Each structure stands twice: as C-alpha cells, then as structure tokens.
Structure 1
Amino acid sequence: MMIINMLHTLHSASLHVGLKSFAPSGYPANGFRKYWLLLVVVAFSLTASAQQGGGTIKGSILDSRTNEPVAGASVVLVKEKTGTVSDLTGAFSVTAKSFPVTLLINYLGYKIQELEIYEYSEPITVFLNEDLNLLNEVVVVAYGTQKRKEITGSVASVPQVVLSQAKSSFDNVLGGTVPGVHVTQSSGQPGATSSVRIRGSNSITGGNEPLYVIDGFVVYNDNNFSSTGSTSGKGTSKSDAGLNVLATINPADIESIEILKDASATAIYGTRGANGVVLITSKKGTKGTNRIHLQTSTGWQNASKTLDLLNGSEWASLYNDILASQGKPASFDVNKVDSYDWQSEALRKGKVQDYQLSFSGGDEKTRYAVSGGYFTQDGIVLNTDFKRYAFRINLDRELSKRFRIGVNAIGSAATQNGLSALNDNNNRVNTWFSVLRTPPVLPIYGNDGGYNYANPYTEEVIRGITPNAIGDLVNTISETKTGRILGNFYAEYIIIPSLKAKVNVGADVLNTKQNYFAPFTTWGGFKTDGFASVGAKLVNSWQAEFTLNYEKQLSKNHSIGVLAGYTTQRTDVESAQAIATNFLNDKTTFNSLQSASTSALPYSDAATSIVKSYLGRVNYSYLDRYHLTTTLRADGSSRFGPNNHWAYFPSIGVSWNVNEEAFLCDFTTLSNLQWRLSTGTVGNQEIGDYMYEGRYIPANYSFAGVIATGYVSANKANKDLKWEKTTHFARQGHKKIWL
C-alpha cells in the first residue's frame, strides 16, 4: 500500500481584529456610529522547516504532583492520526513518519498536554497536571447539557486541538483520538468516503454508521449518497471516488463534538442509536467585543513511499523467461533496455490550501457569528482533487427575560474529481492499477510528444491502439458536485423558572450531480467508443422537535430533571441517470449524450421515509454524588411492516462519585473516582426503504429472439418485518488513584 505524508504546513497566517468605539474627550459614547476606528493587529507566523526522516518516539507519562506513572493515557500523533496508550509503567512508543510532529497526550482527570517535537534523540518524560474542574465541566448530551459528574452513560469529548487539525472532513480525526472509535477511509483520494465504527459493528445486514446530530438536527448521512443512480446505491457512472457526505460540513465551523457510546446515552435516539451518536455543536457568537478572525494555511502532500516495482531490465528478463518456457527466443537484450517510471509520472506533489474568515460578537440580548471558508486539496495522483466553499450564519436574540429565538444555517458547495473505476476482466480496479500494470519498457510518450498508445505486449488492441495509463488519468472526467444547506430555527420560552418549552424546526437539502466521461482512448471507453453518464440526486429532509424540560433543586440534597418531547422527521430522495456510448468525437464529453449512437434506458428512482417519536428522560441526583438516569423512546418508522411500525427503547443508568465520600477524604492520593452501571435497548432501521413490501423490478427476456421488457419479483412482501434491536450492558469506572 502507498503511504501518504499528509499536509506538511509551510505557511500559516492568522489575523484578529477588534472593533471598539473611539471618540475625542467629551464626545458621547454612542459616537461610535459616526466615528470609529478599526484597530488591526496582524500576527503572521511563517514556518519553513525541512522535512526530516521519521523514527520511533519513546517516553513515559507521569503525574506532575506525585511522580507516579499514568497508565492508559492516550498518545496521538495529531497530523498522522495514529497513536497508542501508555502501559502500566506509564511508558509509550509511537512511530512518526517524519519530523516535526505534534504529540497529544490525554487522560481523564488531567489537562490535555500538547507537545511539538522537531527532532528526537532520547526518551522524553511528560508530566500531566490534574484538571480539578473536569467533573464540573458541562458537556452536550442528547436534547440538552449535563455536568460530566452527573452523566451515567459513556460520553467522550473530542479535544479542541484535534478538531483544529481537521481540514477536509471532521470524521477523519475521530479515529485514534477517542477510545472505542475506529475510522477507515475508503481510499486516499481527496474527499473520499470513510467508515466510522463506535465500539465495533452491531449489524450483519443493516447499516453500522453512527447517527450524526448537528445543533439538534439529525443529518442525512449515507456513504452512497454520491451514487446518483438510485437510492439503493446503483451508480450512474464508473467513478471510483465517492464523495464523503460529511465533507460538506466545514470543520472550522464546529465548536465541539461529543460521542455517545452506550445505551444509557444513546437509547433516547431509539431506532437510530444502535451504532452510537455523534453530537456536533457549531460555533456561535458570544457577548463582548466584535471580532474578526482570519486564518490561512498552505501545505503540500506527497507520497513518502512508493511501490517497489520492476524496472525495465528486470521486467525484460522476466518476459524472456516466459518466452523461453514457451520455446520461443528472447525478445530483449536486458543490458540495452530503456526503463520508464510510470508510477512517478502518475504522482505529483499535491497542494493543500485552507482559508477561513469569521465575524462574531454580541451584547446582552443579541449574539451573532458569520463565517466563510474555502478549502482545496490536490491529490497526489494526477487529476484528483477536492474543493469546498462554505458559509455559516448564527443569530441568537433574547426578546425578553423568558423568550429567546435563534437561527443556525450552514451551507457548502463541494467538487470532487476522482479516479475512474474499471472492474474489467483483467482485474483493473481503477486507473491507478492500470499505471502499476503497464510494462516499464513502454515509453510513456510517442515521438510526436503525445501519449504512446502502442503496446505490443497485450492482445487488448482496438483500431491499432491500447489505452495509455497516464493519458487515461488525464483525459477521463469523473466529477461529483454537491451543494448543501442545513438550517434550523428555534424558539425557547420559560413557562415558570423551572419549566422551559422549546421548538426546533429545520431542514437539510442536499443536491448532487455526478458527471463521467471516458473517451475511446481510455480504458473506461475503450470497448464502447467512448462512455458518458450524467446523474443527479436530490435529498430533502425536514425535522420538527417539541420539548419540555423541567429542572428543579428539590432540597439541599435532592435535584431532578425531566425531559419530555415529540419529534418527527421526513426524508425524500429522488435520483435520475442517463448513459450513452459510441461517440463520433470526444469534444462534447458528457454534455451531449444525444450525439452518441447508443443510449441506455434512462433510470430514475424515488423514496420517502418518515420517523415519528415520543421521548422522555428523568435525571435524579442525591447529595451531588449519586446519580440516576432513565430514558424511554417510542419510535414509529415507515421502513417497517404495518404490524411493527412502532417499537420502544428504554434505558437506565446509575453513577457514583466515590471520591466525594467522607470515608475517602483522607486519601490524598485519590483525585477522582467514578463508577457507572447502565443497560438499555437501542434500535437500527438502516435496512433501506420499502423492504417490507413486495417489490418488482424491470428486466429483459428473449421471446423467440425478440427482447421484451417486463417485471420480475425482487423480494416478497413481509408485513411482519420489524426492528433490529441491540441490548447493551455496561459497567465502567473512571479513576485516578495510587495505592
């Protein structure tokens, strides 16, 4: 496999601007409206360092107060997104591909430590400082917030320093930084899809991706969304890329990410909580001075290691051996063979640029945040890249002491150019494999300076040519364009001091267009005199939530919180495609399918899914150290048979802050100790739409040599098709103790 050295940043700049009123002595303070001064403080940081070779970094992690080893601490190479954990003696070892590197050391109960290492010669010692306020930290949970010390389920927060490293897509930085979360990219192509697993896979036949919730809105997340041929994943073209739907979200707009792992935390999402939940909170305006923030970064990526392939002489010697085994004379003088490096010709140094500009501020009643961003990444393979334009608007307004409203909107326009998928009889997976399989004795270019289409070592010759792998990369068009707007409006009213009502209504609109064209000189269009396809997919999802939240300190020792709500969400998906082959020329590419002499039947598809839910949660705390949480959700889904539309998903969890007990007060070596126990049932509805109904699909059949189109059964009706349920039981402890 090829190892990619990602984003060695050579230039970065940041700009912070504060806007303040300014007036001569005695001039009214509100003179800011007519007279104001823009004070600009520019801080540019230019760093240029020669990339050094990699190596193994060894060290140990100790508590700064006791000098005792810290076992189980997370040690992450931030840019490489790999890491390890310290052993029982606090020792760790990680391998860096190149220096400099950034090490992120994290352990519950301690402050996060970030180290910049420019060179390494001897083991390092890292001292962690206690974070005494950690348990009082307020974190985002389903439909609200809680103090970390009161949480009975498993909730992990992604460190802010890790989020700041995300450029293409935020999901790429989750793996290796949060325990129990594993991320696998489908390929190294820019903007490629990724697979996220929280505590492993839960289903054999259903989906295993977690649920993503942005500012309370359950967003559309389907790894096949860029396959515009159908909602079931049938693609319109031979594109091998696949755009990551999460890459349409600008990571720079994210304030925090919490990951819910067990049933106590996820059961309140019922049918969609089996695979874990990722809660995302976007950045918002804050009270205070108006601020302008400009951040730029530029870097390059390259293949730090390539595949060790045969050179011309080695390939010629092997070819002569094959001829000899067939009783034929040698074809090459191995000492007089020219060698051509097709792999190096197909690779390049990819430029990565990121520009982010934001405005934020507010007063006692109004807060705002507006931002825009541009990100572009050139792949290390020719003709592969990813571009994204993004914007964000946030406005919160307190209309009275009891009534508050707000609006959040994020949008993006993304374009991905990827490789061409082949999957032909010669085991070419995509155009990159064609590069690797081309004999190194073949010249890349002909005498006229154009691509060399002569290959005497293959029988795949049509009209006197064989596709040139480099020309294939350059001349094939495989692009996916996506526009997305995600927005929600909320209104919050305090009925009485302890009771709050909230309405949250939003929509997620995702529009995708996929174009593909392979001329007859490429493998994608070689046998069909050119191949072109166009496709489009439109996803409309809207959601409405109505919740009541009651929180009351009943007495000095007792407190309670009750949540009740109703939600509904509808998702409509429409798609269409058209394919044509046998083109007279390549000039019109995919823009004139009617000029082809052969066209496939057009294809279209549509699907609608609806989820309606009732939910409830009760939180109870005693003495601020014994905590109980119980949840119940009733979900009704259109994806299941009429006999099983509805299902119920309960959970219960308890936690005990042991370190706050009186009998442990004299244990100075004990900083914090929390014990949790939870169980619950969650569901999975990711089976596709209309699976309970009897379905028929079009098919062709030959009657006396005449092709006729009819319908065949795709699956039988099953009115009893029901939920896939998963029951969790978790016993956990978080401690920092030395005996």
Structure 2
Amino acid sequence: MTINHKSVRWRHIFVCCHFFLSISMTLSAQDLLVSGQVTDGHLPISGATVLIKSTTKGVVSDFDGRYSITAKPTDTLQISYLGYTTLTIPIQNRSTINVILKEDATALGEVQINAGYYSTTDREKTGSIARITAKDIELQPVNNPLGAMQGYMSGVNIVQNTGVPGGGFNVEVRGKNFINGVSDPLFIVDGVPFGSQSLGDFQVSGEIFSGNISPLNSINPNDIESIEVLKDADATAIYGSRGANGVVLITTKKGRAGKTRFDAHLSTSIGKVSNFLDLLNTKQYLEIRREGIDNDGVGLMLESSLYDFFWPDIKLWDNDRYTDWQKELIGGTAYRNNAQLSVSGGSAQNQFLISGGYHNETTVFPGDSKYRKASIHSNFTHQSNDNRFKINLSTNYAYENNLMPQADFTAKAYSLEPNAPALYDDQGNLNWENNTWENPLASLEERFEATSKNLITNAMISYTILPDMELRSSMGLSSYQFDTYRTMPSSARNPGYGLTPQSYSYLTSNNSQRESWIVEPQINWQKKWDKLSLNILIGSTFQQESTEKLILRGRGFPNNELLLNIAAAQEIQAVSNLDSEYSYIAIFGRINLKVLDRYIINLTGRRDGSSRFGPGKQFGNFGALGMAWLFSEETFLKNSSILSFGKLRASYGTTGSDNIGDYRFLDTYTVTGSNYDGITLVKPTGIFNPLFGWEENQKLETALELGFFKDRLLMNTSWYKNRSSNQLVGIPLAATTGFSELTGNFDAIVENSGLELDLLTVNMRSETFKWSTNFNLTIPKNKLVAFDGLEASTFANRYVIGKPLTILKLYHALGVDPKTGLYQFRDYDGDGNYSSIGDRQWVEDLTPRWYGGFGNSLSFGNVTFDVFFQFKKQKAYNTVRFDATPGFKKNTSVELYNRWQQAGDQNPFQRASAGMAGGQDLGALQQESSASVSDASFIRLRNISLNYKIPYLINKSEVNVYLQGQNLWTLTNYIGPDPEQPNPRLPPLRQITLGVQLVF
C-alpha cells in the first residue's frame, strides 16, 4: 500500500484550518454584542423583553428603550412587550438592530397570564382565567382592589357593602357553592395566601361597618400589576381544598432595567351621595300622624298633657318646622387625597422598585371622621450572569387608621321626623329639646377607631440545575394586626336619663392578630422536541396560621376622660377570647403536554391535609383535566383571512373546602364573662364529632374562543356546571342538649351553572386614533338539587329543592282590602291566621339573573378617553321592607302618602296607624311579603376617565393630567337608596377625581 504524503499533508492542513475556523467562529459568536433601541415608531419602549429565541437568556430595554445582549451570529432575537405584537428577528451577524413594535391589544400569544404556580398565555391556556391589569385599575379612584374589579370580569359578582371608607365587599365567583361557610375565594398576594375575612366584630364596630372591615383595604391598588381570577377546575384544582370558591391572584409591580425612573402621582377627589329618597314633608307627615291616631281610637289621649311624651312631634315641636335630614346628616362632601412616589430601575441582572403611598379620606357625615392609610411596597430581583440563579423579594406593608362615628347616619337621615328640633341650642350645645328626642349627633360623642398593620413578604428563589430543569421555592409571611375600640360615654345619652360616668360609660375593645407563614418548594422540568413539548411541575406546601382575638368590655368609669383606660373601669368583662392555630400541608403536581402547537392537555392534582378535620378525615385528593384544541392552526384554517384564532377547550375536576373554622370537630368552650363566687365561668360551644370531612366541588366547563380579522374581534364563550356536595352544615340540636348545633356533612347537593361571554373588539386603529370596545355578560343559575330530609328539618323554612340557596320565603301580599283598609295575604295553610311557618311560601330570589359590563377606550394623539358601564338584571328589597304602615313616629317614603282613607279606596298602602291599635301587626307582615321586593335592575356609569399626556418638557420627563369619575349616573326604575345597597346604610358615593402623574 502506497501512502500519498502530499495528500496527507493537504488533508492535515484542511483539518487544522477547519478546526481553527470553528474556534474562530465560536469565539466570534461568544464575543458578538448586539445592541439597539426598541420604540413604537415615535417613543422609546422601556421594559421590553429581548430574548434569544428558544432559550431563557434575555434582557429588558432601559428607560430610553436601549438594550445590549451577547449572542451568536446565527441566533434569533424575540422582542416582546405587553400590548404589542412580538417580533422575531434573525441576528445574521449584525451588531446593531433597532426595533419598532406595533401596538396590538389582542396579542393573545404574548401576554403572560399568572395561573399561580405557573404562567401561560391567552392562546395556550386550558382553563378559565379572567384578568384585569394596572391599565384598568389606574383608571378608577378606588381604595380597595375589589372595587377595581366590579363589572370587569364575567362570572365574578362583587357588591360594595357601604360607602364608608374602609368598608368591605361581598365577592362570589360563579355563585354560592355551600349552604354554610364562607363564599369568598382564596386570595393570594405575590404567592402568599391572604386572609380576606374581617377580624372586626359587631359588638365593637356597631352599625357603621357591621363588623365587616375588609383587610384588602390595606393593599394599595396603585401597587398592583395585575389581578387574575381562576374560575374553573383546570385553573383551581392545583389549589385543592382552597380553590372551591375560586382563586384571586394579586401580583404587585416589579422594577424594570434601565435608568433610574421616578414616578409621582398626586390626586384629589370629592364625593357625594348619588341619590336621595323622596320623603314626606312636615305637612304630609303630620297629616298622616294625626290620621293614624284617630284610626287607632286614641284621639282622646292626644288631648291630655299626661301623654305628651307619646306625641312630642305633634304637641311639643314646631309644626311648621322642616329639616331635610338627608342633607344635614349625609349631604356633606367627602374629600380624598392620594399621593404616591416610586423609584425603579436597575441592570439586566438587578432590578428594583420602591414605592410609598399616602391616602387620606373623609366622609359625608357631620363631624371630623377620617380614614388614613400609609403603604410601602418594594420589589428586588436578581439573576446571575448565566441566568441560572434568580431571586425575587417582594414586601408590602400598610398602616391604616379609621376614625368613624359609631353610627351610620343614613338610617336616621331617612327616618327622623321632618319637624324634629334643631341639632344645637343657642349656646352651641347638643339640643335635647327638653328631653323629648334623641339627638342623632350624640353618636359623635361616641368614638370608634380601627387601626390595622398589614405585612406581606415573599421570596422566590430558583436555580436551573439542568438546561431543562429548575428548582425553586416560594417562602412567604403575612401578619395582620387589627385593633379597634368603641367608647360609649354618658354624655352621648339624653341628660334626662340622669346617667353618670360611674353608672353608664362603656369601653369595648377588640385586639386581634392573624399571622401565617408558607413554604412551597417546587421542581419544574420542561422539554421541547420538534412536534412535542412537555412541562412537569411537582411541589409541596407547608403552611401554618394562627389567629388571636380578645374582646374586652369595661363599664363604669370615674369620668369620661378616662374612657380609653380600661383599667379604670369598675367592671371588666371578657366578651370573647379566641386563640386558634391552623396547619396545612399538601403535595401538588401539573403535567402539561402540547402536540404540534395545537393540541394541549393539562393535568393537575393535589393531596391536601388540614388540621380542621379529625383523625382519618384530614386528607383529601383533588384534581382536574383540561384540554384545548387550537383548530385555527389546522392546515385548512391556518391561512384563513377571516378566522385568525380558534380554540375549543374543556375541563373537569374536583376542588374542595375546609373553610369552616378551627376546632369544629372538638369539644370547645368559651368564657362567658360572668363569674360565680369569684370564679370565671365557661360554657360549652362545640360538641365532639370527628366524622365530618371535606366538602367537595365538582366543576365542568366547555368553552369556545374565536378571533376574527387578525384578532380585531375576539370572542370567548363558556358554559359551566359546578356541583358541590358533602355539605358541611351546622345541624341544629335541641336546647336540652346544651348545644345549639352539631357540625356534620349533609347529603345535599348545590349546583351552579351558567353562560359567560367576553368580547373584545378593535374598532379603529391608525397611527393617531385607536378605539377598542370590551363587553362581558354572565347568566348564572343556582339551585339546591338535593337535600335528604329537608322537609322534616329546621331548614325547611329556608330552602326549597330546585330553588337557589339565596331565596327568600315571604308572605304573598294581595294588596289592601278596599273595605277595611288593611293588608291582605294569601292563607296558604287555610287556618285563618298568618303564621311564618305555614304562610311564608312565596319565593323570591335577590341574586342577579344576569350581569356584566361594557366599556370603550379611545385615544387620539396624546388624549385618551375611557368609559365603562356596569349593568345587572336583579330584584332587591324596596322601601316597603323598612316602612309599610303610614302614621308611625318616623319619617317614611312619600309613597306611603298614597294610603287607604275610606271604604272603596284602591290604594297600595293600608290605612294610617300610630301603632297603638293592637292586634296582629299587618304592616310588619307586609314588610316581609312579596310587596317588599321589586325590580332593581340598573345600568350604571361606573367609571369614566380623560387623560392628557403632555409632551416632553425637561429631560424627557413625562406628565399626565387626568380627570376621573365613578358612579356618576345610574339608570334604574328602583325606588330606594341604591339598587345594589337597598339597606339603610351609606351607599357608594359619586366621586370625581383630578390627578397628575409625573415621570422623570
């Protein structure tokens, strides 16, 4: 064999050249620095994400939109920003690449959605997730995040309880699932579960809040980046026993890389009651009063001075006097001032944000009532140079001080006699008019103050141990301290009673605290092949929560100046003393499989353990299967000029609930506050029952999502059916047992079903003008499917098989008898009497038949205009609920002036009465009859916002001036204070806000 040395030599040279060429290319690839600027064609975009495609390596653009990233010449950049179409640009050995992003409000595949333990996109999600972002939240002058969500989300019904600052909200996600227990969803703030249940107590707060002071007020809406609501089984089952009522994820803002950025917000608001009732004037009131006295046959008593105390409004007060008590007591102007300053910035590896806010608000009540809140939010993010190690630290702290009168003046404003005396005498003292009335401003002598301190902190640490595998752990801590007190000095009572601080003076205090910690280690593995991608998540949860609540009452003080020192009281009583602990552990997992980028399967599961159940019942298993088919990616539709997006999805699974309170399966006792021969007494409050277990909620959903004309029109329709079983109910016991009830599982089934529709349209879009519309509609249905032994149980008067849980069983009103002038009702049991057991068979439901919202957003140049309407089809209690008989010693709706006066009259209200006729009170039955419920449907202009962006002034500073309004106008046939607030409490106010934002 002959060796050709020349050939070998050239081959050797070729291999060496190839080797050095490869090395050279590798080095050049490592050393290639790509930089540029991201803009929208006019202005730089700060915070845009610049990724190397198919990797996790990336940077974000700085304040001027500039970026720099090290990449290979053959790599491809992927540039994205919320609300803009993502661009994919090959580097092709270029060192400078400038990017212009086009706005696209419907970029389904690019907007990241927080699903709790993982993130997804609108395009690829298999579950039902509603979302609201900072863009919508900032348009609303609200103090509570729940207020910003009202009307914006399908399937989420939120009602504000009161217009008093610091009040609470009622929240239901897809209806009421359980007969007993809390209907609130699970709230999670930056990965930390947050207790939304108030620690207030009616014995302290009285009627001003009815014990419901929302802890969510401590979260500053200006610090929120997004709020996601998880609704169906696919989205909630990974939260297991905590997800039966839905999950609300609140994500706060984070820093972005770039130059240090200062952001200042200043705003001021004025608020007024939006609607006053039409009440009787003095002439009408006195006419009916005298008529009622005559009808009762006690006219002779009116002539005697011995009975002046019965009728001071007729005999002692000025019969020509008139006071508009609504104007006096709730007709004031509430002022709200907000100030917010934040600083943010950082590099590609380190970003930070620190913000502080101050909120000050008054009320429409007389006096110096006020609500103040100071908040601090910080977020720090760090990632190593190789992007393998990441850490995110988030902290939210808020201090609230709420100083309010003990009473809500609204009920008095509706009921005080129109000729009642003046509030103050000639010397400026409270006027008691010779001890003939209770001066409403006496409650200003009483004092109610609530102070809260809320801390939420979380650390998320992750490390990529392999290219496809990440270890991470979330560690969180929350602490909520809530202290309230209420004073009742003797000076707040009529001096005619002869009360002294020693005989009558009270201090009631509530010192409460709720603390919890949570640790959630997780491992996430994801792998992508040519036509298949797989994502597997496994994690566990360790959580512990403790609650302490002590209510003390002191009576009898040496003087009113010592009321705040309970040690000075003659008698101290422990009204309530709660000390409980809750432990919770779980293991959870998720498998997400995607085939050909159009077939998606999402499997989630969780095994929970709760200390709220007895031995053998402490663990429960929950899970769900979600599937999606992106049929618009099929070959026959992929190039359609009409259909740009189409997805069919479905899910089924189970969630549960242990939200019944602590220690319910044990024998429990409470201190009575009394003593026997110096020994403190306790009484039993709970009876041992270790057999009850988890409530279960089975959820089924199907949905169709469509996009037309390059996603200019997006439509999402979904149908759901949830069935809740194994109901945990307090089973009433006979009084002879010494216990009021026994907690146990009832064989009852509650069903919630409904249709949801969401629409988003981009009506016009050009370089200078944009107009988009959003619409959502929910048609819910709730019913009790089964309840074994219902007819023979004590629940027979509350529930009916086939009817909603929220029904009212009322008397059937038949109007006024034209002969006698008295109310008539249907005698269901035929016994000739009207009784609550046999004759309250008329069924009404006050939950909405359907509800939703409708909004438009328009921008022209630097001017942006947003308007949003909320609507509901519903029934509610009307004014008859509170007054049905004219002639009593209190003012009423002018409707009652249309009363029966003589035989043959066909009037809607019975004859006048002063309440002294004796016999059965038919007016009280009318208040609990079908006549007390009427249509309360409405369309409300909930939010309106006008924003003007002033062009750059100095050093590229940005100034936005805005005018906002809330609850400006309501279209309704409802006669009452407010269709969503029929009770005599202060309704939500009409507010107008003027503000300015400065960015530099």
Matched, 1:615 2:588: yes
Deviation at 1:717, TM superposition (A): 1.2
Question: Which residue, 661, 669, 673 being the options, matches 1:696?
Answer: 669
Q: 1:148 & 1:480 partners in 2: Cα distance? A: 42
Q: 1:653 & 1:381 partners in 2: Cα distance? A: 52
Deviation at 1:314, TM superposition (A): 2.6
After superposition, the Cα gap between the structure-2 partners of 1:341 and 1:585, relative to the gap in structure 1 and judged at 3 Å, is farther
Matched, 1:437 2:402: no
Deviation at 1:726, TM superposition (A): 0.2
The residue that corresponds to 2:215 in the other structure is 245
The residue that corresponds to 1:732 in the other structure is 703
| Partner SS for 1:642 | coil
Q: 1:523 & 1:219 partners in 2: Cα distance? A: 41
Deviation at 1:166, TM superposition (A): 5.0
Question: Which residue, 184, 191, 203 being the options, matches 2:159?
Answer: 184
| Alpha-carbon displacement from aligned partner over 1:653-683 (angstroms, at most 9, x marks no partner) | 1001111111224542212211111001001
The residue that corresponds to 1:265 in the other structure is 235
Q: 2:281 & 2:275 partners in 1: Cα distance? A: 17
Q: 2:229 & 2:493 partners in 1: Cα distance? A: 44
Matched, 1:522 2:465: no
After superposition, the Cα gap between the structure-2 partners of 1:335 and 1:362, relative to the gap in structure 1 and judged at 3 Å, is closer
Matched, 1:660 2:633: yes
Question: Which residue, 366, 370, 395 being the options, matches 1:385?
Answer: 370
Q: Which residue identity does 1:649 align to in structure 2?
A: F
| Partner SS for 1:676 | strand
Matched, 1:342 2:325: yes
Deviation at 1:378, TM superposition (A): 1.4
The residue that corresponds to 2:537 in the other structure is 563
Contact 1:581 1:597 in 2 (8 A): yes
Q: Which residue identity does 1:155 align to in structure 2?
A: I
Q: 2:265 & 2:678 partners in 1: Cα distance? A: 62
Identity of aligned residues (%): 27
Deviation at 1:529, TM superposition (A): 2.0
The residue that corresponds to 1:294 in the other structure is 264
After superposition, the Cα gap between the structure-2 partners of 1:594 and 1:544, relative to the gap in structure 1 and judged at 3 Å, is same
Deviation at 1:582, TM superposition (A): 3.2
Matched, 1:367 2:351: yes
The residue that corresponds to 1:454 in the other structure is 433
Q: Which residue identity does 1:479 align to in structure 2?
A: E
Alignment of 1:299-448 (within 5 A): 299-325=269-295, 326-328=298-300, 331=314, 337-347=320-330, 348-383=332-367, 384-401=369-386, 402-420=388-406, 430-441=408-419, 442-448=421-427
Q: 2:672 & 2:561 partners in 1: Cα distance? A: 34
Q: 2:693 & 2:159 partners in 1: Cα distance? A: 30
Q: 1:606 & 1:394 partners in 2: Cα distance? A: 33
Question: Which residue, 644, 648, 654 being the options, matches 1:671?
Answer: 644
Question: Which residue, 97, 107, 110 being the options, matches 1:133?
Answer: 107
Q: Which residue identity does 1:561 align to in structure 2?
A: N
Contact 1:285 1:369 in 2 (8 A): yes
Question: Which residue, 116, 119, 123 being the options, matches 1:142?
Answer: 116
After superposition, the Cα gap between the structure-2 partners of 1:471 and 1:454, relative to the gap in structure 1 and judged at 3 Å, is same
Matched, 1:275 2:259: no
The residue that corresponds to 2:519 in the other structure is 544
| Alpha-carbon displacement from aligned partner over 1:604-629 (angstroms, at most 9, x marks no partner) | 22000011010100001011111000
Contact 1:416 1:480 in 2 (8 A): yes
Q: 1:606 & 1:635 partners in 2: Cα distance? A: 24
After superposition, the Cα gap between the structure-2 partners of 1:198 and 1:152, relative to the gap in structure 1 and judged at 3 Å, is same
Q: Which residue identity does 1:249 align to in structure 2?
A: I
Deviation at 1:391, TM superposition (A): 0.3
| Alpha-carbon displacement from aligned partner over 1:211-248 (angstroms, at most 9, x marks no partner) | 111111111221x3233xxxxxx744536323210011
The runs of 5 or more residues in structure 2 that have no matched partner are 1-44, 47-63, 65-82, 86-102, 304-313, 714-1000
Q: Which residue identity does 2:689 align to in structure 1?
A: N
| Alpha-carbon displacement from aligned partner over 1:285-330 (angstroms, at most 9, x marks no partner) | 1111110000111110011321222233332323332444422457
Deviation at 1:490, TM superposition (A): 2.4
| Alpha-carbon displacement from aligned partner over 1:565-589 (angstroms, at most 9, x marks no partner) | 1111100111212212234432233
| Partner SS for 2:157 | strand
Q: 1:523 & 1:161 partners in 2: Cα distance? A: 50
Q: 2:106 & 2:160 partners in 1: Cα distance? A: 37
Deviation at 1:346, TM superposition (A): 1.4
Deviation at 1:356, TM superposition (A): 0.7
Deviation at 1:495, TM superposition (A): 0.4
| Partner SS for 1:567 | strand
Contact 1:316 1:334 in 2 (8 A): no
Higher-Rg structure is: 2
Q: 2:509 & 2:451 partners in 1: Cα distance? A: 11
| Partner SS for 2:152 | coil
Q: 2:654 & 2:319 partners in 1: Cα distance? A: 71
The residue that corresponds to 1:469 in the other structure is 440
Q: Which residue identity does 2:403 align to in structure 1?
A: N
Q: 2:605 & 2:405 partners in 1: Cα distance? A: 47
Q: Which residue identity does 1:190 align to in structure 2?
A: P
Q: 1:294 & 1:524 partners in 2: Cα distance? A: 50
Q: Which residue identity does 1:398 align to in structure 2?
A: Q
| Partner SS for 1:568 | strand
Q: Which residue identity does 1:550 align to in structure 2?
A: W
After superposition, the Cα gap between the structure-2 partners of 1:289 and 1:389, relative to the gap in structure 1 and judged at 3 Å, is same
| Alpha-carbon displacement from aligned partner over 1:327-358 (angstroms, at most 9, x marks no partner) | 24574699961112332121210001111100
Q: 2:690 & 2:625 partners in 1: Cα distance? A: 32
After superposition, the Cα gap between the structure-2 partners of 1:322 and 1:688, relative to the gap in structure 1 and judged at 3 Å, is same
Deviation at 1:450, TM superposition (A): 1.5
Deviation at 1:400, TM superposition (A): 4.3
After superposition, the Cα gap between the structure-2 partners of 1:541 and 1:336, relative to the gap in structure 1 and judged at 3 Å, is closer
| Partner SS for 2:656 | strand
Q: 1:342 & 1:600 partners in 2: Cα distance? A: 38
Q: 1:498 & 1:562 partners in 2: Cα distance? A: 10
Q: 2:680 & 2:377 partners in 1: Cα distance? A: 49
| Partner SS for 1:204 | coil
The residue that corresponds to 2:552 in the other structure is 578
The root-mean-square deviation of aligned C-alpha atoms, in Å, is 3.0
Deviation at 1:184, TM superposition (A): 1.3
| Alpha-carbon displacement from aligned partner over 1:689-715 (angstroms, at most 9, x marks no partner) | 000112233458999xx8986444322
Question: Which residue, 648, 653, 663 being the options, matches 1:680?
Answer: 653
Deviation at 1:405, TM superposition (A): 1.9
Deviation at 1:433, TM superposition (A): 2.1
Q: 1:281 & 1:371 partners in 2: Cα distance? A: 15
The residue that corresponds to 2:724 in the other structure is none
Contact 2:575 2:673 in 1 (8 A): no
Q: 2:654 & 2:494 partners in 1: Cα distance? A: 48
Alignment of 1:637-652 (within 5 A): 637-652=610-625
TM-score, structure 1 length as denominator?
0.75
| Partner SS for 2:492 | coil
After superposition, the Cα gap between the structure-2 partners of 1:576 and 1:334, relative to the gap in structure 1 and judged at 3 Å, is closer
Alignment of 1:147-186 (within 5 A): 147-164=121-138, 165=140, 167-186=142-161
Q: 1:471 & 1:629 partners in 2: Cα distance? A: 62
Q: 1:603 & 1:619 partners in 2: Cα distance? A: 49
The runs of 5 or more residues in structure 1 that have no matched partner are 1-17, 20-38, 40-108, 112-128, 228-233, 422-429, 456-463
TM-score, structure 2 length as denominator?
0.56
Question: Which residue, 531, 543, 568 being the options, matches 1:595?
Answer: 568
Corresponding pairs, count: 590
